[in-house]
Amino acid sequence: MIVVTGGAGFIGSNIVKALNLSGMANILVVDDLSQGNKVANLTDCDIIDFVDKDEFIQDIVKGGKYEDMDVIFHQGACSDTMELDGRYMMQTNYEYSKTLLETASKHSIPFIYASSASVYGDGKEFIEEVEYEKALNVYAYSKLLFDRYVRRHRNNLECQIVGLRYFNVYGPGETNKGRMASVAWHFYQQYQEQGYVNLFEGSGGYEAGEQLRDFVYIDDVVNVNMHFLSQPQISGIFNVGTGRAQSFNDVACAALNALSGEQRTTAQWVKDNMIRYIPFPEQLRGKYQSYTQADLDKLMVDGEYTESFADVDTGVSAYLDSLKG
């Protein structure tokens, strides 16, 4: 049996779909459906059962009925970088993950989990080493602390363990994320509602809309997960991004080109007032990554991953075509 925690969420549900496409349906989805609209991500999935996340971990603690797990994709987490309740964040992201990992180790179950590029903070290099890590908020800290827990106990763990530091993921299935959805999703909504898109003014030494992120398409993220499923001999913590930083202006331009059917430059969209800049939020100052770019050396060498990643033009076009469809 394959377990996917957060299986009704954005990345988790796409992993379930990929497993189905590979002929696997012996899948247990674990999630919290307090936000009921997430169920839309599962309606076209073939699974054997669904279990609430609290019930699942309680059964795990009791040594319950899940001994037949073949692999755990641990994607479940509170991913709201604006969440200020540190106790809730640490319980949900850190303690839950530790308990699940201990069970995986006890029964030698491969454990592939979601980390985050937020662990690098406002640094300029993004390499999977301690000296490059700096959490700017409690979400990032909860992810970083679990990565460090994994490193500290790695030699005593009796299972494959793979941590994937996702950069800025976008693509189908993220509608339920609301304000935490990608800028590509927000641009689509803004264009439908108001006919133009909004970007932040300059911040962190960057001009308006020129803040740089490593935007990675969901299909590529899923492919990396499936790669490690097929390589049980490989363990480690790996970046998952394109290795190319692109600006928010690039994403806005790609979105407007895809939605309008035209091929124009950012400068032309700005001139026609189709890209507009809004004040940078005060609550994000000091907590915002103005630049990210995944170093992929470890993924390519130690992780033996050889596939290429879609750039913004390709990924955003495919994504918005799916939303229009």
Locus of tokens 């299909």: 219
Q: Is 177 a catalytic residue?
A: yes
Taking the CB of residue 95, how many other CB atoms lie within 10 A of it? 13
* φ, ψ (nearest 5 deg) of residue 21: -65, -25
User: How many angstroms separate the CA atoms of 188 and 269, rounded?
Assistant: 15
Give ∠ CA 240-285-89 in degrees, rounded to 5. Answer: 60
Task: Find, among 26, 211, 235, the residue nearest to 111 by Cα.
Answer: 235
With beta carbons less than 8 A apart as the criterion, state whether 240 and 167 touch.
yes
Looking at 98, 132, 134, 177, which residue is catalytic?
177
Looking at 66, 94, 120, 139, which residue is catalytic?
139
Q: Is 139 a catalytic residue?
A: yes
Locus of tokens 């990643």: 309
User: How many angstroms separate the CA atoms of 200 and 283, rounded?
Assistant: 13
> Which residues are tagged catalytic?
139, 177
